[in-house]
C-alpha cells in the first residue's frame, strides 16, 4: 500500500489511533480469558488464546512501525516483528481499595478496562465523554481517574486542566491513557498535573504497578490531610481556650482609679498568656498597697503561677503575715511558692505600702527592677529616684530575708512600678535599651498628658514591630500636691 502524497503526520496519527483501538480490545480480552483458562487448567483454550494474543501483538507492532508520524509506509508481505511476551498469567492479582473513574469515548475500551480493574477489587465507574466525566467527578468522590487523551468534543487534556484548576478536585490523581505514544503528548499531560501516563494496550504488570502507586499516594495524602485537619481543629480549640484564659487574666487587673489616688496602667503581653500581673488596693483607710510581679517565661505555666501569686496578695491569704510590712510579705511569698514545687518557675516582685497620713512609702523587692519616683523640682522640672531594696528572686531559697526600705513621698510626685519588659527592648541591630534609657524618657515626658502611652509607643519604635519581645506592664500612681 502506497501512502497518499497528501497524507500528514496528524492523519497518520489518527489512523494509527483508530487501528490500534480494536487490536487493543483483542489483546485485553485475550489476556483476561487466558488468565481464566490457566486458573481452570484448560490447556487447549490457553494455547489458542496465546496464539490470538501473539498475533494481535504482531499486528500492533506493524501498526506502530509502519504508520509513523511521517506518514504511511509500505507494508511488507510478511513481518519479522518479534512475538510479544507478556507476564505470567498465573501471577497473583493484587487487590486494591478505592473508587476509580474510567473515562473513554469507546465503550469497548471501557469494558476492557473495567474488567481488568474489577479483578483487582476496585469500584469502577465510567464516563464516555469529557463533560460527563467533569460532572461525575464534581458530584462524587474518587480516588483515581483513568482518562483517555483523545475524545471528541472535550478531550482528556482539557478535562485534566479543568480538574487541576479546581481546588476541590486538583488533588485527585489522574493517569492519562491513550493509544498515542508521542512524547509531546506525554509531556503536556505531566506538566498539566497528571500523575502518570499509560499507553494502550495495557501491560498488566505496568497497569497494576502504576494504579497501585497512585492509590497508595492518594491514601497517604488523604491521611496527611486528615491529620492536618485534626491539628487545625485542635489548634483552633487551643487558641480559643488561650484567648478565654487571656481575657480572664485581663479581667482580673484592677480598673484605673481617680480617687483618692489617681492610678493608671499599661499592659501589653508579648504572647497570648503573660507571666506579668499587678494590682493595688487599700489595706485599710490609711494604707494603700501596690505590687507588680513577673514570672520567668511565658505561656500557661507562667500565667498560672502569676495568677496564683497575685490572688494571694489581693486576698491577703498568708496566715499571720502583716501586709503593711513589705519585707515580711516577700519572705512569706518566697516560702509559699518554692520553685521546685512550681515546675522550676520563679518570679520577681516589687511590693510597696503607702501610708497616706505620713506620706511615707515602705517597699521591698525581690529580684525586680526598681520603681521610679519622679519628684517635682524647682523650675517645673522633675528629678528621678530609683526605689529598690535588692532582694533575691522569689522562690529560689527558703527563709530568705527581705529588707523593707522607706522614703517620704513629696507632694505632686509620680511613682512608676514596672517590669523589665518596659525597657529591655532589642532593636533591629540587636542592641538592647537599659533602665537608664527608660528613666531618661519618663523624666522628659513627666508632664505629658499620656506618659504611659508615650512609653508604649517608644517601646514599639525601639523594637521596630508591634509585637514586643517581653511582656510590657507598668503602673503610674500620682500623689496629691
The range of the structural domain enclosing residue 436 comes to 252-478
Same domain, 30 and 63: yes
Is 165 within the bounds of a domain? yes
Same domain, 38 and 148: no
Residue 418 or 16, more confident:
418
What pLDDT score does 178 carry? 78
What pLDDT score does 324 carry? 97
Q: Which residues contact 356 (CB under 8 A, 6 or more apart)?
A: 260, 286, 287, 288
Residue 330 or 81, more confident:
330
User: pLDDT confidence of 370, banded at 50, 70, 90?
Assistant: very high
Residue 370 or 220, more confident:
370
Q: Which residues contact 347 (CB under 8 A, 6 or more apart)?
A: 275, 293, 294, 295, 296, 305, 306, 309, 337, 393, 394, 395
Is 416 within the bounds of a domain? yes
Distance of CA 363 to the CA centre of its chain: 47
383 phi, psi to nearest 5 deg = -120, 150
- Is the pLDDT at 337 greater than 80? The verdict is yes
- Is the pLDDT at 125 greater than 80? The verdict is yes
CA-based radius of gyration for the chain: 41
What pLDDT score does 183 carry? 67
Same domain, 420 and 271: yes
CATH of the domain at 362: 3.60.40.10
Same domain, 100 and 239: yes
Is 10 within the bounds of a domain? yes
Q: What is the pLDDT of residues 177-220, one digit of tens each?
A: 876 666 677 788 889 999 998 887 777 788 888 888 899 888 88
Is 398 within the bounds of a domain? yes
CA-to-CA distance for 156 and 362, rounded, in angstroms?
85
35 phi, psi to nearest 5 deg = -60, -40
Same domain, 105 and 155: yes
CA-to-CA distance for 347 and 296, rounded, in angstroms?
6
Same domain, 103 and 69: no
What DSSP designation does 195 have?
A: S
Q: Which cell numbers hold the place of 390?
A: 535588692
Question: Contact, 418 vs 372, CB < 8 A?
Answer: yes
Same domain, 256 and 376: yes
Same domain, 341 and 199: no
Can you tell me which residue has the cell 541591630?
429
Q: What is the pLDDT of residues 68-93, one digit of tens each?
A: 544 444 444 333 333 333 344 344 45
Amino acid at each position: 500500500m502506497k501512502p497518499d502524497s497528501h497524507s500528514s503526520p496528524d492523519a497518520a496519527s489518527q489512523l494509527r489511533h483508530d487501528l490500534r483501538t480494536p487490536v487493543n480490545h483483542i489483546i485485553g480480552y485475550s489476556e483476561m480469558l487466558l488468565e481464566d483458562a490457566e486458573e481452570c487448567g484448560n490447556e487447549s483454550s490457553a494455547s489458542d488464546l496465546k496464539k490470538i494474543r501473539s498475533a494481535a501483538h504482531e499486528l500492533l507492532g506493524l501498526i506502530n512501525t509502519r504508520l509513523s508520524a511521517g506518514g504511511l509506509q509500505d507494508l511488507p508481505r510478511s513481518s519479522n516483528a518479534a512475538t510479544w511476551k507478556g507476564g505470567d498469567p498465573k501471577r497473583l492479582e493484587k487487590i486494591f481499595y478505592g473508587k476509580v473513574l474510567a473515562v473513554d469515548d469507546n465503550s469497548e475500551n471501557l469494558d476492557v478496562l473495567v474488567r481488568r480493574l474489577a479483578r483487582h477489587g476496585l469500584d469502577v465507574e465510567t464516563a464516555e465523554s469529557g463533560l460527563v466525566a467533569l460532572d461525575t467527578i464534581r458530584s462524587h468522590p474518587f480516588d483515581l481517574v483513568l482518562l483517555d487523551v483523545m475524545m471528541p468534543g472535550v478531550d482528556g487534556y482539557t478535562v485534566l486542566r479543568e480538574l487541576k484548576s479546581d481546588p476541590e478536585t486538583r488533588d485527585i490523581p489522574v493517569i492519562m491513557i491513550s493509544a498515542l505514544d508521542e512524547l509531546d503528548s506525554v509531556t503536556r499531560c505531566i506538566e498539566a498535573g497528571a500523575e502518570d501516563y499509560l499507553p494502550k494496550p495495557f501491560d498488566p504488570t505496568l497497569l497494576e504497578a502504576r494504579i497501585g502507586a497512585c492509590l497508595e499516594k492518594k491514601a497517604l495524602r488523604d491521611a496527611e490531610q486528615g491529620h492536618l485537619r485534626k491539628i487545625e481543629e485542635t489548634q483552633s480549640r487551643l487558641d480559643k481556650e488561650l484567648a478565654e484564659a487571656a481575657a480572664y487574666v485581663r479581667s482580673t487587673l484592677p480598673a484605673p482609679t481617680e480617687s483618692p489616688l489617681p492610678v493608671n496602667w499599661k499592659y501589653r503581653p508579648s504572647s497570648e498568656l503573660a507571666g506579668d500581673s499587678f494590682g493595688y488596693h487599700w489595706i485599710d483607710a490609711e494604707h494603700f498597697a501596690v505590687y507588680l510581679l513577673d514570672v520567668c517565661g511565658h505561656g500557661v505555666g507562667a500565667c498560672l503561677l502569676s495568677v496564683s501569686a497575685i490572688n494571694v496578695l489581693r486576698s491577703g491569704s498568708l496566715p499571720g503575715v502583716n501586709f503593711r510590712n513589705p519585707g515580711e510579705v516577700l519572705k512569706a511569698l518566697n516560702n509559699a511558692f518554692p520553685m521546685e514545687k512550681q515546675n522550676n518557675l520563679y518570679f520577681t516582685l516589687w511590693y510597696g505600702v503607702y501610708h497616706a497620713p505620713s506620706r511615707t512609702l515602705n517597699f521591698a523587692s525581690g529580684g525586680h527592677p526598681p520603681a521610679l519616683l519622679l519628684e517635682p523640682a524647682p523650675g517645673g522640672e522633675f528629678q528621678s529616684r530609683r526605689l529598690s531594696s535588692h532582694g533575691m528572686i522569689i522562690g529560689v531559697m527558703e527563709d530568705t530575708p527581705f529588707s523593707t526600705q522607706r522614703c517620704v513621698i513629696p507632694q505632686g510626685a509620680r511613682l512608676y512600678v514596672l517590669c523589665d519588659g518596659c525597657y529591655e527592648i532589642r532593636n533591629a541591630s540587636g542592641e538592647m535599651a537599659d533602665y537608664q534609657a527608660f528613666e531618661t524618657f519618663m523624666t522628659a515626658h513627666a508632664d505629658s498628658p499620656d506618659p504611659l502611652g508615650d512609653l508604649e509607643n517608644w517601646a514599639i519604635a525601639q523594637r521596630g514591630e508591634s509585637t514586643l519581645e517581653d511582656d510590657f506592664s507598668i503602673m503610674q500612681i500620682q500623689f496629691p500636691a
